[in-house]
Structure formats: C-alpha cells, structure tokens
Amino acid sequence: MLTWQDFVERWGASTGREQQDAQSHFNELCQLINHKTPTQLDPAHEFFTFAEHVEKATGGRGRADVFYRGHFAWEYKGKHRDLDAAYGQLLAYKGGLENPPLLVVCDFLTYKIYPQWTNASGLPFTFTNADLLHPDAQNMIRWLLEAPEKFKDYRQSELEKRERLTLKLANQFAQLADLMKQVSDQDGLGWETMQIARFLTKLMFALFAEDVELLPKLGIAKKGVLIPIFRYIVDATTDIPEEFVPLLTPLFEAMDGRKTAYIGKYVPYFNGGLFRDTLPDQADGLEILDLGRVLGAIDLLGEISEQDWRFVNPSIFGTLFEGALDPSKRAQLGAHYTSEDDIRLVIDPVLMQPLYREWEQTSADAQPLLQTYKNPASSPRDKTHAEAALRALHDHMMHRLESTKVLDPACGSGNFLYVALRALKDLEAKVRNLFEPLGLPYRDVVTPRQLYGIEKDIFAARLAHVVVWIGYLQWRYEQDGLLYPVLPRSLPHPRNLPNPIIQDKLSANEPDRIINDDAIMRYDADGKPYEPEWADVDVIVGNPPFLGDKKMRRELSDAYVDDLRRLYANRVSGGADLVTYWYEKARAKIEGKTTKSAGLLATQSIRMGAHRAILDRVKQTGDIFMAWSDRGWRIDGAAVRISIVGFDDGTRKEYVLDGAPVDHINADLQNTIDATKAKTLKLNKDLAF
C-alpha cells in the first residue's frame, strides 16, 4: 500500500519529467487520499481528465495537464522549471475551462495553488514535496479533489492571523524603538525620536519588500535554499556588529536607484521619496542608525525579519506603528485601533456606492454582449459589433475608476486612504474579470496617485505615504500571486510594476499627494493666517480631530484659536468643536462643485446645540444622505461615542440612517419631525402654561 513517506521519497529522487511523469504523479496523489483517478471517475473524459485541450484567451490552442470541472486546472513542469510561466499558461487557459476556482502549478518539488474567486486574495497556497508528510499539505490535496471551497475558509483564518501578526510586529518595533532610545554617543548624545522613526520606516518597507520577493535572495545555503537579505545581514552582524551599517547601506542605495545591485544581485528601483532628505541640506535620506551599537537589537531584528511580512495588515499597522514609537500612544498597542470594518462604514456608502451602481448597470449591459461574443454560432458581424460595445463598456468603467480621487484631510498614518485604495482595486479586479474573454492587455488602473492626504504630524504623514504603497503592492501580490518589477536586462512583462516601484509622481512638477501641513489654517511669510486650498477630488473622507473650545486653547494655544475663529467667522460658530472646521471646508468644496461628496466622523455633539449649526449649513447647500447618529468608536485608544455623516450637493435621493433606509435625515441626525425648524406661533406669544 502506497504511503505518504513512499510518495515523498520516490518523487524527491525522481527526475521529474513533465510529459512522462505527470499522470503517474497525479494518479498516486488520488490514491493517497482514496479518490478515484480521472480515468476511473470519468472514462468519457468529460469533466475530470488529463491533457484537456482548450482555446487560449490570447488566441490559439493549448492543453491543461489535468482538468477537474468546478475544482481546478493543473499544469506540470519539470523539476526546477519556471512555475511563474506555468501559471501564466493557466491564466490564458482558464476562460476556456469555464473558469475553475483554483489554478495549480507543480514541478514535482513545489506546489502552488492560486485561488481565482473574485473577492478572494490571489496569493497562492504553497507547499513542497517534503511538506506532504504533514497533515496541512495533505489536506490541501484532499480539498483540491473533494472540497475546493475549503480554501476560502482557510484564507479567512489567515486574515485573522494577519491581525495577530500585525499586533506582534508593532510590539516588536516598540521594543526595538525603546532599545534605540537608550543609546548615546561619547558626548552623551542619542538619536532623536524622528531619526528613529525615519530609519524604522525605511526598515519596515524593506522587510515587506523582501517577503513579497521584490528583493533578491543571496548565495546558496544548505540544501540549496537561498538566503533572504535580512537573514544574511543578521547572521553576519551577530558576531561582527560593526558590519551592520556597511552591509545595510548598499541595500538602501540600490533601492534608491543609486546602484543596480546588492552583492551581485539586481535590486529594483523603489524611490518614491522613501529615501528623500528631510530638508535639501540635511543629507539624511539614506541615514542608517547603527543597530550594532544597541545591545540586543540585532537579535530582535532577526526575530522581526523572520515574521511573514506579506500578511501585515496596512489598515491598522500605521496606527500601531505610531504607538510603537510614541510612548504616549503605547496604550493603542492592544485592541485599540480602528478596524477595517469600521472604516468601511464611511468608505462603502460615500466612495463605493455610486461606483457599484454604475458597475451593476455596466455588468447588466455586458452580459448579452458577452453571450454573443463567445457564441461560436454568432456571425462575424455580430461578434465584431459585440466586441466593440464590450470594449467601450470596459474602457468607460476603467476610466471611472482611474479618474476617481480621494482626499483625507486628517489622514494620520493613512488607514482611511488604504481602505479606499483597496476598495477601488477590488472593483477594478471585478471589471477585469468580467471582460477577460476579450483578451485585453493588462493595465494597472487604480494607483496610490489617486489618494491625497493632509497630516499635521510629520512622522504620521511620512508613514501614511509608506502604508498606502505597501497596501498597493500587497494587493497586487495577493491578486497575481507574484510581482514583476522592472530589472536590468529583463524582458518586459505584461504585469510589470511601475518603474520606479513607488511612482508617486508621473512628472517632476506634480505636487505631493500626501503633505505634512495644517489642513484648516496656515500662516504666510508675513505671519498672516490664511485658509489653505484642498485638492479637487471626488470624495473627502476621514476622521478629523475632536477638540472642544477649552481643550483647543490648551493644546493649540490661544493665539492659534483666535486666528482660526476670525478666519472662519460667519461660517463656523464661535466655540464650536475643532472637527466642525473640516466639515465646513468639505461643505464649501461640494458647494463649489470641486468635490462630489464627503464622509466624516465627528464628536456626537455635532448634532446638538451650537455645534449643529455646521450641519444646518450642510443641509442649506446640499443634503445628508447617510449618518450614524450614535456609534461606539476608538479614538487614541479610548472608547468614545461618535457620529458619522455622509453629505453631498443633494444629488443622492436614497437615505440611510443608523444602517436603515429612511426618507430623509435632519440636521440633528434624526428622521422624526425636524424640531430644529420649529417657529413660535404668534397666537401663543406671551402665554405661559
């Protein structure tokens, strides 16, 4: 009787030739889990078969090595052959194979299973021949043949692990930051908090880039395993700590495009301000803080680098990372962060609902055209007309997505911007999948260049920039299973990343998208306060700061508050909470037709008393189409009650209050008779009861 041990030893020692061995290998996998082989289950070769012929999406014909309808398509390659190329073949085949939910590539030593569900990550499940001695890998073979949906459940459990991993990494960075703050030189001078923050931000991005395979592996270790760069640096500096700066410097130089390689391996060009000097004469863009001087820091870096950075959750990592570097925010390193689900309460109705309405119509218009286009019996003329109409629908929807701009004028470390980016990219994937039969060339549509942010804290602003790009690269990696950077002497790939990878500007004269500045008031060269202009965008979202009048004066100074009150006189009532200034600016942008809608958080008091005046102004020049009147939230680690308000120029005529449809929403965020508009009756004047 065949055992898993027999199988692993036999195929580990075999030559693993694609054509000769593929069917024997697959049949033995079926035998191991007591599942019928293709010949036994489907002797007519209709739904479970070897060498299934198929029409390619790109034209011509091909052949999938194994096909099981409703389960998978499987492509074999000889040992140590290019599995990326095998996956590319299956992508071209899948439309002709009725879009199986899983695509599998295998070279007898490595297995990669790529999910194809529209709303699921495309990141592959990967295991080796040796891993088949363990139940997890055996279960994946069983799921392929018996229960493909199990992969969805497994991925959900991975999402929960992501949050735990993100919290663990933030805590480890907090430990590293604490160690670094204890260092001082011979004169008793240590590193400033901003120095530590800048360095750890670059380190964080490099660790992520390594795990999504944008950085090369080095040398040959035992058993032919390539060494990750940070493992190499940690191993080399554990005994010789003075080598830390000399080893890390050329890596950062290569990532910044000053060199093409690191220890004989090409490194893609990242740029994007990651290594930009703080000031023109500062020369600190490539500054590396010597962890070799910090007792225990190299070992801790080794632990951090061993974590799987592919699965970090950008929607919460920025907030947690801020807390790691700021002891006053350290309490946030528990469960005290804003979850992605909470942020979606703003993003989905304000940003995505109009786009999905348009997408639903586009999809409905496309379905009969796709039937005509794919029907072999259609006439050449009908097929040509259908193709032209489909291309027009595709191009219009993609243009809507790539032209949509989002501003968070109090962006913090970028969590609202990241969630907006991911929501737009998810819809982009839906559009691409629907129109896949056309065989259109791949085009990266939604990018971080559509996201604008304003943040007063310099470190949070820099972190927001990095978080958004990590989110973008992570989405690409999860969807495609691998990333394709532009490298010297490499052939272009249809899914190449931008070059530089962090391409936040298409030309040098473009403004920065995420800026470090005051969103509601600035001072000119003469010290005169003025109201700053916000970028023209489609949607404004965010969580502006809440501060009552007394707290404003204590934290911002009397002079600042007096200037602010004068600047917005007759627009924002005196004594109003700080958050109302963001509401007024968003309202004015909508009234001026340079923004379509806004969704902002506020203190619950915005619907009461004098604070409500700002919502009265919103209703005078537009309307409130969505609101949560009283909802629990987390602000700086504290549990609070807040309101969420979505408003526009009155275009939208469907209203949702506290999650339920209503026919209108008043300025007090209620749906009852609007008592705020009640007037005194003349007949009751001077009467008392």
| Residue 331 pLDDT greater than 70, yes or no | no
User: If you ran DSSP here, which 8-state letter would residue 662 be given?
Assistant: E
Q: How confident is the model over 350-409, as pLDDT tens digits?
A: 999 999 999 989 988 998 998 899 888 999 999 999 999 999 999 999 999 999 999 999
- How far apart, in whole angstroms, are the C-alpha atoms of residue 258 and residue 253? 5
| Residue 16 pLDDT greater than 60, yes or no | yes
Tokens of 269: 């060009």
**Average of per-residue pLDDT across 203-227:** 84
Query: What's the mean per-residue pLDDT of the chain?
Result: 89
- How far apart, in whole angstroms, are the C-alpha atoms of residue 326 and residue 293? 22
Who wins on pLDDT, 618 or 508? Answer: 618
Who wins on pLDDT, 136 or 158? Answer: 136
pLDDT of residue 32: 96
pLDDT of residue 286: 86
The DSSP bridge pattern shows strands 522-523 and 61-68 to be unpaired
**Average of per-residue pLDDT across 642-659:** 95
Percentage of the chain lying above the pLDDT 90 cut: 63
| Residue 637 pLDDT greater than 60, yes or no | no
pLDDT of residue 689: 40
pLDDT class for 159, splitting at 50, 70, 90?
confident
Tokens of 460: 């949070």
Chain centroid to Cα 31, Å, comes to: 41
Q: How confident is the model over 398-447, as pLDDT tens digits?
A: 999 999 999 999 999 899 999 999 999 999 988 998 898 898 999 999 99
Say which amino acid occupies 517. D
| Residue 335 pLDDT greater than 70, yes or no | no
**Average of per-residue pLDDT across 317-322:** 74
E-state strands within 360-419: 406-408
Helix ranges restricted to H, 568-657: 579-591, 613-621
Q: How confident is the model over 40-62, as pLDDT tens digits?
A: 999 999 999 998 888 765 566 78
- How far apart, in whole angstroms, are the C-alpha atoms of residue 562 and residue 649? 31
Of the candidates 293, 304, 179, 318, the residue with the CA atom closest to the CA atom of residue 242:
293
Give residue limits of the domains in the chain: 4-148, 154-333, 339-406+415-469+506-515
| Residue 666 pLDDT greater than 80, yes or no | yes
For residue 360, is it left (φ>0), alpha (ψ between -120 and 50) or beta? Answer: alpha
pLDDT of residue 187: 58
Most confident of 100-109, 548-557, 570-579, 587-596: 587-596
pLDDT of residue 680: 56
E-state strands within 40-109: 48-55, 61-68, 72-76, 102-106
Tokens of 357: 């309405």
**Average of per-residue pLDDT across 244-260:** 95
**Average of per-residue pLDDT across 29-35:** 96
**Average of per-residue pLDDT across 195-206:** 91
Most confident of 417-431, 524-538, 624-638: 524-538
pLDDT of residue 224: 57
Tokens of 274: 């990651």
| Residue 141 pLDDT greater than 60, yes or no | yes
pLDDT of residue 687: 47
| Residue 153 pLDDT greater than 90, yes or no | no
Lowest mean pLDDT among 13-17, 119-123, 187-191, 271-275: 119-123
CA distances from 610 to 572, 574, 642, 666, 686 (A): 10, 9, 17, 15, 26
SS (H, E, C) 110-146: EEEEEECCCCCCCCCEEEECHHHHCHHHHHHHHHHHH
The answer to whether residues 545 and 579 touch, using CB atoms and an 8 Å cutoff, is: yes
Task: Identify any residues that bridge with 648 across adjacent strands, giving them in sequence order.
Answer: 597, 623
Task: Identify any residues that bridge with 647 across adjacent strands, giving them in sequence order.
Answer: 598, 624
pLDDT of residue 18: 67
- How far apart, in whole angstroms, are the C-alpha atoms of residue 628 and residue 631? 6
Quote the pTM value.
0.79
**Average of per-residue pLDDT across 549-566:** 94
**Average of per-residue pLDDT across 662-677:** 82
**Average of per-residue pLDDT across 171-183:** 89
> Under CATH, to which class is 4-148 assigned?
alpha beta
Who wins on pLDDT, 69 or 193? Answer: 69
**Average of per-residue pLDDT across 244-254:** 96
What's the order of all strands across the beta sheet hosting 638-648? Answer: 514-516, 451-455, 406-408, 539-542, 597-603, 638-648, 623-635, 655-657, 660-662
**Average of per-residue pLDDT across 110-135:** 86
Who wins on pLDDT, 454 or 167? Answer: 454
| Residue 581 pLDDT greater than 80, yes or no | yes
Element containing residue 261 per DSSP (H, E): strand 261-262
pLDDT of residue 246: 97
Who wins on pLDDT, 326 or 397? Answer: 397
Who wins on pLDDT, 157 or 598? Answer: 598
User: If you ran DSSP here, which 8-state letter would residue 352 be given?
Assistant: I
Lowest mean pLDDT among 298-302, 478-482, 556-560: 478-482
